Amino acid sequence: MTSNEIRKRFLDFFEKRGHVIIPSASLVPENDSGVLFNTAGMQPLIPYLLGKEHPAGRRLVNSQKCVRTQDIEKVGDNTHDTFFEMLGNWSLGDYFKKEAIEWSYEFLTSKEEGLGLDPNRLFITCFEGDENAPRDTESADIWREIFQKNNIKGERIYFRPADKNWWSVGDDGPCGPDTEMFYDLIGDKTAGMILDQYLKADDDQTIVEVWNDVFMEYIKKDGKIIGKLEKKNVDTGAGLERVVMAIQNKTNIFDTDLFESLISQIKKNAKISDSVSERIVSDHIRTSVFMIADGVVPSNTERGYILRRLLRRAVRHADILGLPKDFLPALVPLIANVYKGVYEEISSQQVKIIDETKKEFDKFQRTLADGLKQFEKVAIKDISGQDAFLLVTTYGFPIEMIEELAKQKNISVDTAGFKEEMQKHKNLSRSGAEQKFKGKL
């Protein structure tokens, strides 16, 4: 199955079970000024998870565009990316654990309506319990019943702590325990595994999480659980990229049809072969295209800064690969083609997207020469946090590049001091903006 077929199967499966298909929200949150991008399918739905009635009803399904950059340093491995689609179905005070888990299993394994994955390659985690909520034996019991009914043998259900099996969008809002489904990519663990074997397989990325059912029945304020929600909700999520990887029998997301044309074009034009840099370029360009299509432009603050960082990291790794200077904008039509008929905003804004990327690349190339000269001036010794701050803010030098070049010279960078200087800068900027606003009153 292609990625488009998988996405459609998911939506059709849950629509048949009473869910209304809703469109993806923009990457830019409409009402949450404290969050730069939508990072999960449930994020645009928080008011409804807290009790507000959704105009489409109590059962919803969609594929939501998401961006997460907290794991940006891991991009280049088998499973991490900065843009992804979250396939999600929701119950707003309707069904709960039993239906959610049974439908998750059915969609993953059904050959007729679902993905037809081998149930003997599935492994499950559940919340082990802590001072906030009890051990989730109910979910584990539902899974045991499913496995017994389908004659699936071996140890494959594990209880894990809150940092693994508890979901919340932040320090405030709905939250709860979750049960996660992992798939054996190699197919050599069908007899089951003990916990230590599961942990090693997870670390080695020979099993990968393909689905997550969150049971939202608690409310958090200032980082603490303060009580239960009036209605129990279900928030399920499956990262499309990882699901596609499992279905297409790949061991990494970059070999799937979502990235295939990008990686192929990069390889064809590169002078040097480096799989990590190829993956970083393809991921960062794809994410940047979606950001620009949703109205973000490169700048030195907030969303614009994230976009600028991604584009400049892409340029840096394009240089490592020896790609032509004007190569990266040529990837935009390939991305538009992958999402044709799904996210038409990319196709309709191709000219604008290419123009924005070209402008940023040109600007970066101009500042790079000056930045390198300044770097050489300060790189006669270990680089202080203040020097790193100056290189980043004045010369547009990415901190990753500073660290990389410093490593080549066997000198260190005071990253803690750099972060401190950046925080001071942010605080001053915020204070200045507040004063400016007050002056208008």
**pLDDT per residue rounded down to tens, the chain (441 residues):** 999 999 999 999 999 999 999 999 999 998 665 789 999 888 899 889 888 999 999 999 999 999 998 888 889 898 899 999 999 999 999 999 999 999 999 999 999 999 999 999 999 999 999 998 999 999 999 999 999 999 999 999 999 999 999 998 778 888 999 999 999 999 999 999 999 999 999 999 899 999 999 999 999 988 889 999 989 999 999 999 999 999 999 989 999 999 999 999 999 999 999 999 999 999 999 999 999 999 999 988 889 989 998 998 899 899 899 999 889 999 999 999 999 999 999 999 999 999 999 999 888 887 777 788 888 988 889 999 999 998 888 877 778 789 888 988 999 999 999 999 888 876 665 444 334 333 333
Res 436: pLDDT? 34
Name all domains of the chain by residue range, CATH numbers in brackets: 3-252 (3.30.930.10), 260-364 (no CATH), 379-441 (no CATH)
Residue 428's pLDDT is what? Answer: 63
Q: Provide the pLDDT for residue 426.
A: 65
HSE, side-chain direction, 13 A CA sphere, residue 432:
6
pLDDT value of position 170: 75
At residue 344, the pLDDT reads 94
pLDDT of residue 240: 96
Looking at residue 108, its pLDDT comes to 96
Q: Which residues pair with 167 in a beta bridge?
A: 176
- pLDDT value at position 82? 95
pLDDT (0 to 100) of residue 434: 38
Note the pTM of the prediction, 2 decimals.
0.85
